[in-house]
Amino acid sequence: MSAENISSGKTILLGVTGSIAAYKAADLASQLVKLGHQVHVIMTGEAQEFITPLTLQTLSRQAVITRLADEKNSWQPGHIHLADSADLLLIAPATANIIAKLAHGIADDALSSIALATRAPLLIAPAMNGNMWQHPATVYNVEILSERGTHFIGPEKDGMLACGYEGAGRLWPVTGILEDVTKTLSAKK
């Protein structure tokens, strides 16, 4: 099934965390919007060190959420409304940090708070140093989330990593992530 077959008009929350692969979130957001989806980007503080919110705001055509403290326009918590309206929460790239937070119910930033509040399917595309990916703590956290129904795509098993290592840890290709989004949204019907 190709990305072109994704049924349009879904609300996708795109979480972006502090990985060098964060720049690929721009292509991902752009492709999802071209397919007719409403894309809302939630960035961690660390992600903003790699790519600016303005880039993702322009490509998604939506305001980017970076902090819950910015919600001062209404008495209603906007992040809860966003969590309720989501058809899918996609975190790409996902660091070991966000995986650990989600596995253990820690909600100390906008992304982890929204992730805990949504009942939408969760699709995680990890990207990190191979030693971090294979660390027993990360392996255990992935198992916990998988048992709860979270789907993981990647990371790639082989390749040169930004840290200079070679092996597992690279973000899955954007086209592959889009294909997994297709499958997840199709299964949700």
Residue 48: Cβ-neighbour burial (10 angstroms; 0-12, 13-18, 19+): middle
What's the pLDDT at 1? 35
Amino acid at 1: M
Find, among 45, 168, 47, 46, the residue nearest to 29 by Cα: 47
Q: Which two tokens stand for residue 93?
A: 């790239």
Rounded CA-CA distance 182/98 in Å is: 23
Name the active-site residue from 116, 137, 162, 163. 163
In CATH, the number for domain 3-188 is: 3.40.50.1950
Partner residues linked to 122 by β-bridges: 89
Query: In a 3-state reduction of DSSP, which class is residue 20?
Result: helix
Per-residue pLDDT of the chain (189 residues; tens, 9 = 90+): 344 444 458 999 999 999 989 999 999 999 999 999 999 999 999 999 999 999 999 999 999 999 877 655 554 566 788 899 999 999 999 999 999 999 999 999 999 999 999 999 999 999 998 888 999 999 999 999 999 999 999 886 665 555 555 556 779 999 999 999 989 998 865
- Parse the chain into domains and list their residue ranges: 3-188
- Phi, psi for 168 (deg, rounded to 5): -75, 150
What's the pLDDT at 71? 58
163 is catalytic: yes
pTM, rounded to two decimals: 0.89
Q: What is the dihedral of CA 42, 48, 59, 117, to 10 degrees?
A: 0
